[in-house]
Amino acid sequence: MFSLNSRTALVTGAGSGIGAAIAETFALAGARVYVVDRDLPAAQSTVERIRAAQGRADALVCDVSKEADAARVVEEVRVDSPHLDILVNNAGIGHVGTLLQTTVEDLDRLYAVNVRGVFNLSKAFLPGMLERRHGVILNLASIGGVVGIRDRLAYCTTKFAVVGLTKSMALDHALQGVRVNCICPGRVETPFVSARLKEYPDPKKAYQEMAATQALGRMGRPEEIAAAALYLASDEGSFITGSDFIIDGGWSAGK
């Protein structure tokens, strides 16, 4: 079950955290994986771990906010892979602040990566999937794309947009062989979250509060999100499209 043998996958933001866990999980399931990150050494580190486990992976550099970078990555993949079966739009950035604490530049910066990044990579690889009438696009949204979170105005705005993009693409291409879903994690212990914690006056207190947000009383682990990504990308998830797949430790249960 959940085999990705003979599949080719590309994961953005795969130099660390959830993206790295997804890339490694996909490779263990048999996929050839392109590990994409704007930080080449980080991407290469993920590739080295995959290869050490006898998996197949290559590192590529891409700033997902740039349309030209997305087009270049398509051409680089075509050099030795005839097609892409699975695209995981995981790259994302965050920001802490209310409306009054958020500048236009802050909002534009998050939108460029979190929303336009999904748009750019999906638009670049979708034509090939439509031509083959086969493909999976998986976007990483957030529980902040389903419910509001205090002091996360820009972040929630962009993640709600990712959920909307997901549902729109899913409906547009449901009869053309392409499935599109998104995962909405609660708080997960990643370098991304660690960086956000440093923005608080008392990082230790902030960590405890973040862990307590989940009904299970802890944050998630990257591999737990990667397991769901594997299911959604595999043939066992073939009846799922347009879904905002919530993995939040019970955060939203009482909302």
Query: DSSP characters for 210-222?
Result: HHHHSTTSS-B-H
Question: Once rounded to an integer, what is the mean pLDDT over residues 142-154?
Answer: 96
What is the DSSP code string of 164-198?
A: HHHHHHHHHHGGGTEEEEEEEE--B-SHHHHHHHT
Predicted confidence (pLDDT) at residue 164 exceeds the cutoff of 80: yes
Q: Nearest-5° angle of CA 252, CA 210, CA 19? A: 80
Cβ atoms of 22 and 229 closer than 8 Å = yes
The whole-angstrom distance between residue 138's C-alpha and the CA centroid of its chain comes to 7
Question: 41 to each of 14, 27, 46, 223, 226, how far by Cα in Å?
Answer: 11, 19, 9, 21, 22
Average pLDDT, stretch 104-121? 98
Asked if residue 244 has pLDDT above 90, the reply is: yes
- Condensed to tens digits (0 to 9), the pLDDT of residues 121-138 reads 999 999 999 999 999 999
Beta bridge partners of 88: 11, 138
Q: Mean pLDDT over residues 168-188, rounded?
A: 97
At what angle are helices 116-132 and 153-173 packed, to 10 degrees? 10
Tokens found for residue 114: 């979190």
Q: What is the pLDDT of residue 183?
A: 98
What tokens appear for 60 in the block? 């590529």
Find the helix or strand (DSSP H, E) in which 36 lies: strand 32-37
111 is known as an active-site residue:
no
User: In the 8-state DSSP scheme, what is residue 248?
Assistant: S
Q: What is the pTM of this model?
A: 0.95
Domains of the chain: 8-190+223-244 (3.40.50.720)
- DSSP code, position 5: T
From 34, 111, 155, 231, the catalytic residue? 155
The pLDDT score that the predictor gives to residue 192 is 78
**Residue 1 pLDDT > 90, yes or no?**
no
∠ CA 126-43-96, nearest 5°, is: 80
The C-alpha atoms of residue 167 and residue 169 are separated, in whole angstroms, by 6
Contacts of 152 (CB under 8 A, 6+ apart): 94, 95, 96, 97, 144
